[in-house]
Amino acid sequence: MTVPVFRFAPSPNGHLHLGHAYSALLNQQMARAAGGRLLLRMEDIDRKRCTPELEAAMQDDLHWLGFDWETPVRRQSEHFEVYRQSLDRLIRMELVYPAFLSRSDIKHEMQSATEKGIVWPHDPDGAALYPAADRALSMRERQQRMNDGHPFSWRLHMNRALEHVGEPLFWHETTVDSNIEARPQDWGDVIIARKDMPTSYHLSVTIDDALQGITNVVRGKDLYHATSIHRLLQHILGLEPPAYHHHDLILDRDGQKLSKSRRDTSLRSLRLEGVTPEQIRALVGV
Ligand code: GLU
């Protein structure tokens, strides 16, 4: 029988808050109940915002909380070459293309379309989709702009990717014990990598979950819809999909999602105030 493998995968770009504590402890509880393994992964591809100090603080908070993980910790920043290989594969398959419109260009396109009465589509996170019309730019022109050093992102050619897959994709969602149909089309041409970084959250999380043999992804509901993209990438890259468990989020008093920039719910400040790990467990209910 295969041993289930769980992981907690924070980004060390701030301090852990109560929401992370819940997610980490739930992973631990589910891993133990399943007789499984528990890994810690640092999703630190953003080299500007993620620092070794923040990572050390996170590990310290997790130890304090009583979260036990297997070592070594996988640090995504140490595996850019692995992600680059998959990116190259997607480039060769012509499923990604260099896209030159910046965020403000997209906004501009959206505004002029809206003035003409066109309803601009948005992704499940509420961001405007990348203008489909930009795909008309020839590959020659794109190559020229890359050679000229223009900034760009590698975006998934969603229509081509869907055609390539040619069948509906599903993931197993353990919160409801059923198979959910993925809707990657709702995301449009998502960013897969950047000019100076051969990956993105979506690409590296998908690759790492497969490389580390993760069987059960337990993470917040805020990533529920992103799973559609991960499912699509898994299929294209021939990777085994894990089961997913998207847990409820811990909200603040105003019903808003907690954020790393809010100090009052950070484990650091709660520790300083004398709150104990037992009290944190009671607070998040794990
Ligand atoms: N690194 C992501 C975050 O901190 C979570 C990734 C995941 O669990 O899939 O939000």
Which residue has a Cα nearest atom 2 of ligand 1?
10
Atom of ligand 1 nearest to the CA of 43: 1
> What single letter denotes the amino acid at residue 195?
K
Provide mean pLDDT across the span 203-216. Answer: 98
Pick the range with the lowest mean pLDDT from 115-124, 228-237, 261-270. Answer: 261-270
Provide mean pLDDT across the span 108-120. Answer: 94
* Cα–ligand 1 centroid distance for 144 (angstroms): 35
Q: Above pLDDT 70, what percent of the chain?
A: 99
* Cα–ligand 1 centroid distance for 222 (angstroms): 10
pLDDT of residue 259: 76
209 Cβ contact list (under 8 Å, min separation 6): 7, 217, 230, 239, 242
> What single letter denotes the amino acid at residue 169?
L
* Domain spans of the chain, in order of start: 1-77+251-286, 79-204
Provide mean pLDDT across the span 3-19. Answer: 97
**Largest distance between two CA atoms of the chain:** 62
Tens digits of residue pLDDT in 28-84:
999 999 999 999 999 999 999 999 999 999 999 999 999 999 999 999 999 999 999
For the domain bounded by 1-77+251-286, which CATH number is listed? 3.40.50.620
Q: Is 168 helix (H, G, I), strand (E, B) or coil?
A: coil
Substitution candidate for ligand 1 out of 26, 43, 229 with most atoms within 8 A of CB: 43
Residue 241 confidence class, pLDDT cut points 50, 70, 90: very high
175 Cβ contact list (under 8 Å, min separation 6): 245, 246, 247
pLDDT of residue 11: 98
Cβ contacts of 29-34, under 8 Å, gap ≥ 24: 29/286, 30/6, 30/216, 30/218, 30/245, 31/4, 31/6, 31/216, 34/4, 34/6, 34/216
Residue 263 confidence class, pLDDT cut points 50, 70, 90: low
Provide mean pLDDT across the span 176-198. Answer: 97
Pick the range with the lowest mean pLDDT from 63-67, 113-117, 187-191, 253-257. Answer: 253-257
Residue 7 scores a pLDDT above 90: yes
Pick the range with the lowest mean pLDDT from 27-41, 127-141, 189-203, 229-243. Answer: 127-141
Structural contact between residues 249 and 283, judged by C-beta atoms closer than 8 angstroms: no
Strand 153-156 with 96-99, pairing: antiparallel
Q: Which residue has the tokens 């993620």?
A: 50
Residue 201 scores a pLDDT above 70: yes
Residue 147 confidence class, pLDDT cut points 50, 70, 90: very high
Report DSSP state, residue 138. -
Is the shortest distance between the CB of 54 and ligand 1 below 6 Å?
A: no
Substitution candidate for ligand 1 out of 8, 11, 221 with most atoms within 8 A of CB: 11
pLDDT of residue 73: 98
pLDDT of residue 255: 78
Residue 261 scores a pLDDT above 90: no
Say if domain 79-204 classifies as CATH 3.30.1360.10: no
Cβ contacts of 159-167, under 8 Å, gap ≥ 24: 160/94, 160/95, 161/95, 161/232, 161/236, 162/232, 164/93, 164/95, 164/236, 165/232, 165/235, 165/236
pLDDT of residue 260: 76
Q: Above pLDDT 90, what percent of the chain?
A: 92
**Which residue from 176, 185, 41 is spatially nearest to 121, judged by alpha carbons?**
185
Q: Which residue has the tokens 């894990």?
A: 242
Atom of ligand 1 nearest to the CA of 205: 9
45 Cβ contact list (under 8 Å, min separation 6): 76, 77, 80, 197, 199, 200, 201, 204
